Structure 1
């Protein structure tokens, strides 16, 4: 995680100075051209361990996506059609293993594109991307920088979409004026902390204390929650805590008698949280990731094909495992497929140019712009609207699709200030 990695000097400069990696990466071929009627796509994410909930469900979703695409004729490059196959590598959310996985996927498996969760694992992979020109995607735009020219964030715009939940909360529950926040001290938690601080400040919600940053190795959350509740907040924010943290924190909030508002980036497997607490306790819990059987997913702005059917098939195969990333990697593949077919090629450079042509793209939740130069130093994030979700009567409900660019146009300076305070601007990282 972030704290442990940086104590060990395990950062971008470390990898860039690692001569062995430079030698390996320099010998890697460019992405292999589609051969044998199959295009291979790399899936480099945590499939086991505490962050697996943001990797494994995404791979499961990709398998459904691949079956659908292949059954419909595959990916059409010029006059030829190709099936798509996913090749996975479990990086266990470890930078060194991610580096090894990227090398293997490119050199041995001949993939044409690699999808990642990102975060703490991206510094291990960045030199491989630079040496090979391979196109990578991340779910964390906070990985982006001017040096990450072949890294894109075309699905999730973490953490900046979190501003939409706070904005909606402030407008719909204006009597709630005080908040506290906790987060794991790592590359997912810190930029999200900065984002929530900016969003609360923009909404006129007072932070009663500094964000409580806990060690990623924490297993006992009773003291964390006791500290959070010490100042009697109206709102408790769980930032971008992993599911392995959100669940015990919610349970502790319930056991310690919290009656106020909870807001979180995710609420993966929220039915389990309801079972451990109560339907009444979880009522109104605000987060950012919808169930795809929501009627709002059938709106004209949504670009994900047959979301209701995808959700039904996913839950048929993996009951109780739908989460934040179940659809995201598949959504990225929609964009990649469109780019490859437009370019008539699976080569990374050609696909990237086709995806970004005109500066716009078909994001899952609507038309969006390739954006981010002010915040990330490069416009490689596809940013538009994002849903605000609340639990009502035990079920996730989309309350509204809100514009991230509209919020940023009003409060961008405030977000950059808090990002800078936490060392998360592109020119501060690494």
Structure 2
């Protein structure tokens, strides 16, 4: 688990240059406003350390979102217009610190909503959510269960969207017949392993070996890659490995002469991978998170305002730091804002009811439905289409939007089978 990394004292920030600036304090208000009426939103995520790539860029994106919303008049509720302010707390991906942070954000800062990465930190926060009734969001639906009634997953449907990449690959490169996979052995890696196994089985792609699970404290990936490609696979799957793993694994694949297909959940800071390997080596690398300057995001189905402008502003302020989560927390705030204005209130229960009314919602990539009972025991995940992204000519390119529900309707039994095999169903998780 990630606690091993923390105890070992490893920082592994090779690819997270901006996180050092976040270390100044554990509680970090990022958007401060002088206004009589202010709604505070909690941002409880790793802002430093090895998982900061899935926290800090999201807070940076929220700063841009808040400035846009406030400039347009703020949040319009029944008793007037409110400016929005984000209050950040660095949980360092530690459950105990996450619990402390949640308590502070609610009791001292008076927030109306708290966004989290989730994963290993959610069990530390759940007792606070249960006691206070605060509405929380996670980027990991695998945190959901029938007991998590105030937890929602309205943006990212990790790891289920990973099936779309495998499905696209099987249809567009049918000559690829075999695969291997590696992942860190933790709450982010294991449900993703089960998902990829289901997707490969559904696509008729043979796994040459069991998934190679490595300790999160691993720093030398040469032997991992040597073992991984020993059977000469057509496809190497990097599961939901953190950036600090994806980068050295890709470099080792390059150095050890792998010529096949690579597929991964994320490819954060892929320009750095290209620099350490080659543009030719990274050509066709499949993952799930687009750059927001992609023309495909200007279609009518997209529910994220001015994605190209958002991307340009983010890169202007935070050069080299665009990644998987840069837009996701802001997208959650789009849904929260619409629900609060619909309810006329920022109270957690009112917002939650308005957000889920009718069983559908405006996901960033199109209309989606609240779903999840089959896998999570509760319909608190917003599920619809998700993009398949490939690196072409050194640039991330959306190849297609694919329906997650359509895949599940055909192959849901396989996903349940593999989730059970890895003890990842809601009723198996402790």
TM-score tier (shorter): over 0.9
User: 2: CA distance between counterparts of 1:238 and 1:156?
Assistant: 18
User: 1: CA distance between counterparts of 2:244 and 2:258?
Assistant: 20
Taking the TM superposition and a 5 Å limit, the aligned residue runs for 1:332-347 are 332-347=332-347
User: Which residue number in structure 1 is paired with residue 285 of structure 2?
Assistant: 285
User: Which residue number in structure 2 is paired with residue 166 of structure 1?
Assistant: 166
User: 2: CA distance between counterparts of 1:378 and 1:127?
Assistant: 18
Q: Is the 8 A contact 1:3 1:185 kept in 2?
A: no
C-alpha deviation, 1:36, in angstroms: 3.5
User: Which residue number in structure 2 is paired with residue 215 of structure 1?
Assistant: 215
For residues 258 and 173 of structure 1, do their structure 2 counterparts lie closer, same or farther at Cα, with a shift above 3 Å needed? same
User: Which residue number in structure 2 is paired with residue 238 of structure 1?
Assistant: 238
User: Which residue number in structure 2 is paired with residue 62 of structure 1?
Assistant: 62
C-alpha deviation, 1:78, in angstroms: 1.6
Q: Say what the alpha-carbon RMSD is for the aligned residues.
A: 1.0
Cα deviation digits, residues 68-126 of structure 1 (max 9, x gap): 00000000002400000000000000000000000000000000000000000000000
Taking the TM superposition and a 5 Å limit, the aligned residue runs for 1:163-312 are 163-312=163-312
User: Which residue number in structure 2 is paired with residue 107 of structure 1?
Assistant: 107
Aligned length: 401
Q: Is the 8 A contact 1:360 1:369 kept in 2?
A: yes
User: 2: CA distance between counterparts of 1:2 and 1:89?
Assistant: 18
Query: Alignment partner of 1:301: what SS?
Result: coil
User: 1: CA distance between counterparts of 2:101 and 2:262?
Assistant: 37
User: 2: CA distance between counterparts of 1:410 and 1:264?
Assistant: 23
User: 1: CA distance between counterparts of 2:235 and 2:280?
Assistant: 16
User: Which residue number in structure 2 is paired with residue 320 of structure 1?
Assistant: 320
User: Which residue number in structure 2 is paired with residue 80 of structure 1?
Assistant: 80
Query: Alignment partner of 2:170: what SS?
Result: helix
Query: Alignment partner of 2:180: what SS?
Result: strand
User: 1: CA distance between counterparts of 2:221 and 2:251?
Assistant: 9
List 4+ stretches of structure 1 deviating above 6 A: none
1:399 aligns with 2:399: yes
User: 1: CA distance between counterparts of 2:325 and 2:137?
Assistant: 13
Q: Is the 8 A contact 1:297 1:307 kept in 2?
A: yes
User: 1: CA distance between counterparts of 2:398 and 2:196?
Assistant: 20
TM-score (norm 2): 0.92
User: Which residue number in structure 2 is paired with residue 379 of structure 1?
Assistant: 379
Q: Is the 8 A contact 2:163 2:199 kept in 1?
A: yes
Q: Is the 8 A contact 1:163 1:199 kept in 2?
A: yes
C-alpha deviation, 1:3, in angstroms: 8.0
TM-score (norm 1): 0.92
Structure 2, unpaired ranges of 5+: 6-34
User: 2: CA distance between counterparts of 1:314 and 1:361?
Assistant: 26
User: 2: CA distance between counterparts of 1:280 and 1:424?
Assistant: 37
Q: Is the 8 A contact 1:115 1:138 kept in 2?
A: yes
User: 2: CA distance between counterparts of 1:68 and 1:167?
Assistant: 37
For residues 66 and 3 of structure 1, do their structure 2 counterparts lie closer, same or farther at Cα, with a shift above 3 Å needed? closer
